[in-house]
Amino acid sequence: MSRIEKDCLSVDVLIVGAGVAGITAAIEAQQQGVDVLLVTKGAFGRDGAATWTSGYGFQVAANPPDSPEIHFADTLKVGRFMNDQRLVHRLISEIIRQHRNLDEWGVRYLKENGRYVMMRLPGESHPRVPRLTNPGEWAGQEYRRSLTRQVKKRSIRVIEDLFVFDLIATRDGIAGAVGLDLRKGTFLVIQAKETILATGGHMGSYRTTTIPQASGDGTAAAFRAGVTLTDLEFADFYAYTAIWPPVTVGEIWPSVFRYELNGKLLNRLGEDLREKYRGPERVPPLAIEREVNAGRGSLHGGAYLSIRHNLREEIDRVFARMGHPKWLKRLQAMRFDVVEQDIEVAPAGIVSFGGCRVDENCATGTLGLFAAGEAGASREGAYTNAGNSLPLCMAMGAIAGREAGRRAKKQNHHIPVNGKVEELCDRALGPMLRDRGVRPIQLRRTIQKILADYGSLIGRNEQRLTEGLEKISQIKKSGLEDMCVTVKDKTFNLEWREALEVRNIADVAELILTAARARKESRGLHYREDFPKEEKTWLKHVVLKKDGEKIDITTEPVTFPYLSPPES
């Protein structure tokens, strides 16, 4: 028996994660007339990923001649036709509805003569991203303000600081989840008729990331529960992440330079990378990594993002329209002239495309479980356009919430919780009971280094991926079993939470490397040195599922019910 107190509660629909997908799922599920619980591992409204960091965020075909059909086609093309077309077709239609909701809920979009003022980002056939009255760094706050207000307005029950570390898997399906209540230092067992994973992605598994809190919690918990996963080899690394000056490291404000001022990516020799590379190699994250590896990177290991070709008056006009943002004031305080001095940027993990395999209802193949947002796979395929992730994740949340609510309403009883709960709690308590061992932060850094060394954008090949897998396997066999939390006070013990996150990161790292080794071609940002070309024969999903202590690897062909890929 676990040596810690457990509380229990029952709900109709449990939503794990309170980012854009989770919040939207909660709203839609409640509208079905069921009891909804929304849980988040941090403070509500301040710990999500996509919602709160969205700078140029919401592609929607709201102005003719653009249309949902064109948006759909653009999404498939940039996704290299690895998308689930039935899912994406439904999501694109849902985006229109959700954008209308955001407008009604108070997101301050810029309009002229009743039409949204749109900006055009790379990969869009037409301008498709509505401008906000306060752009740039304030965009994420605009969505956060509107969405969290709706949760409070509707009196949706929220539990903060609850880290859900495992799903309760039974022979009949998912019976709910178990989590660590950080405020009390106790476990909470939640029995639910339907559970929605909206935990975000796993890009916090990487050392260089824009979202360190995204530790793959939902993906790892689903994997351990026997849920089928797919597309783990695909992810997006944001090329315009600041690495110099140091006062803004890890921030994505350089997107303003790229999209508002047509910033140029330059190597150490002053060569424009967009002119230097062609085809798949022209993708900015890959281009930067190639230049760095060849010794032509910027002084601090990235590329220069220059806006010198613009008139100072134009630059000042853009900054004034943004209300002279905080990042600009910080740079000015250190006497850094962004016109005369080039900032440095480098790729950092931002969006994961792999996760639970879902159908067009966002239901997994496991009874009682849905996945939305980055926790669900195949919405974006192998790559994505700027501003497409947020609306697709929001649409997934809406569909999952609606479908889960409908199904829960038809059920008279919960799936009985089995004795496995004790085992899950005992395992989670393990790091607290050890008096000595490896600290969670040490293991996290070790795993992140393995991913950087063996699963990076450039350098993936059979040998290196195999070596990386061997190192991760050793960590899972010994390191995790020796992990020790030095602070023994159970109340609000963040090191204990990190220990549980590290277990998730280890599982996710193994899944990423496994999928990357299985896909013997290059597609999106998945680049194999030993298979450098995109192959039509590899228009298939790499499917992973837990099989005892091993990972079962299969492939499934991509289907094309609406749009077929070009012949060449």
Q: What is the pLDDT along the chain (568 residues), one digit of tens a residue?
A: 446 789 999 999 999 999 999 999 999 999 999 999 999 999 998 876 544 555 557 999 999 999 999 999 999 999 999 999 999 999 999 999 999 999 999 999 999 999 999 999 889 999 999 988 875 555 677 888 899 999 999 999 999 999 999 999 999 999 999 999 999 999 999 999 999 999 999 999 999 988 889 999 999 999 999 999 999 999 999 999 999 999 888 888 898 899 889 999 999 999 999 999 987 778 899 999 999 999 999 999 999 999 999 999 999 998 888 877 888 999 999 999 998 999 999 999 999 999 999 999 999 999 999 999 999 999 999 999 989 999 999 999 999 999 999 999 999 999 999 889 999 999 999 999 999 999 999 999 999 999 999 998 888 999 999 999 999 999 999 999 999 999 999 999 999 999 999 999 999 999 999 999 999 999 999 999 999 999 999 999 999 999 999 999 999 999 999 999 998 6
* Residue 469 CB burial class (10 angstroms; 0-12, 13-18, ≥19): buried
Name residues whose C-beta falls within 8 Å of residue 545's C-beta, 6 or more positions apart in sequence: 223, 226, 227, 228, 229, 551, 552, 554
The CA dihedral of 398, 401, 404, 407, to the nearest 10 degrees, is -80
Give the model's pLDDT for residue 529.
93
Give the model's pLDDT for residue 1.
42
> What is the phi/psi pair of residue 557, to 5°?
-65, 145
Q: How far apart are CA 350 and CA 214, in angstroms?
A: 9
CB atoms within 10 A of CB 320: 9
DSSP sequence for 308-362: TTS-HHHHHHHHHHTTS-HHHHHHHHTT--TTTS-EEEEEEEEEE--EE---TTS
- Strand, coil or helix: what is 537? helix
Kindly state the tokens that stand for 454.
């063996």
Assess contact for 218 and 505: CB atoms under 8 A: no
Q: How far apart are CA 110 and CA 401, in angstroms?
A: 29
- Strand, coil or helix: what is 130? strand
Q: How far apart are CA 385 and CA 236, in angstroms?
A: 10
Give the model's pLDDT for residue 477.
92
Kindly state the tokens that stand for 169.
């898997």
Q: How far apart are CA 127 and CA 217, in angstroms?
A: 35
Kindly state the tokens that stand for 380.
């974006």
Give the model's pLDDT for residue 250.
86
Distances (CA, A) of 455 to 6, 349, 522: 39, 12, 13
Assess contact for 511 and 465: CB atoms under 8 A: no
Q: How far apart are CA 72 and CA 147, in angstroms?
A: 25
Q: How far apart are CA 358 and CA 43, in angstroms?
A: 28
pLDDT tens per residue across span 261-307: 999 999 999 999 999 998 777 889 999 999 999 999 999 999 999 99
Q: Please name which of 221, 180, 224 lies closest in space to residue 496, comparing C-alpha atoms.
A: 180
Distances (CA, A) of 428 to 39, 194, 254, 418, 460: 18, 23, 40, 17, 33
pTM: predicted TM-score of the whole model, two decimal places: 0.95
